[in-house]
Amino acid sequence: MVVYLIGLLAQFFFGARTVLQWILSERARKVLSPSIFWILSIIASYLFFIYGWLREDFAIILGQVIAYYIYIWNLNAKGVWKKVPAVLRYLLILTPPVAIALASGDAAHFINTFLKNEDVPLWLLIFGSTGQIVFTLRFVYQLIYSVRRKESLLPIGFWIISLAGSMVIIVYAIIRQDPILILGQAAGFIAYIRNIAIYKKQNKEYQQVP
Residue 62: predicted pLDDT: 65
**CA nearest neighbour of 52 among 90, 103, 15:** 103
Q: Decide: 159 and 196 in contact? Cβ < 8 Å.
A: yes
User: Which long-range contacts link 138-142 to residues 24+ away (Cβ below 8 Å)?
Assistant: 138/162, 138/165, 139/66, 139/67, 139/70, 139/71, 140/66, 140/70, 142/70, 142/74
Q: How far is it, in rounded angstroms, from Cα 169 to Cα 128?
A: 6
List pLDDT tens digits, range 109-144: 556 665 566 666 778 878 887 887 888 889 999 999
List pLDDT tens digits, range 16-56: 999 899 999 999 989 999 999 999 999 998 888 788 777 76
Per-residue DSSP letter, 114: I
